[in-house]
Amino acid sequence: MQRIVRLVKALIVAVVVMILSILPPGLHFILGPLSPLIGGFAGGIVGRLQGEEAFVFGLIEAVAAGLTAGFLLPHLAHLTLGTATLWFFGIIAALYAGVLGGAAAYFGGRQVGTR
């Protein structure tokens, strides 16, 4: 049960950090693409995630990013792209966010564990 609480806490911190990194005008061009990395690292530190927990963290982040891009992008952006194209971007977003967030959460958790 404690693992789940740590994982949920890490996910909440990661989402807040990712949202906050997109908000500053001008800086969002740099911080936006790096937000899964920054959020994953902060989430790994706060949640004190170990190896398998960081892997699950990355999977959850990947599914969230892929589903968000796949389902919400056509409705929010009013794009006329085909469904296959939008799902392609969703899969790329899932891989990008999952790999960066999971790896950063692993290294963040290791930073806490070494002290």
Query: Domain count of the chain?
Result: 1
pLDDT digits (tens, 9 = 90+) for 42-98: 999 999 998 889 999 999 988 888 777 777 766 776 666 677 777 788 888 889 889
Q: What is the DSSP string of 26-76?
A: TTHHHHHHHHHHHHHHHHHHHHT--HHHHHHHHHHHHHHHHHIIIIIHHHH
| pTM for this predicted structure | 0.83
What domain range is 81 assigned to? 2-113
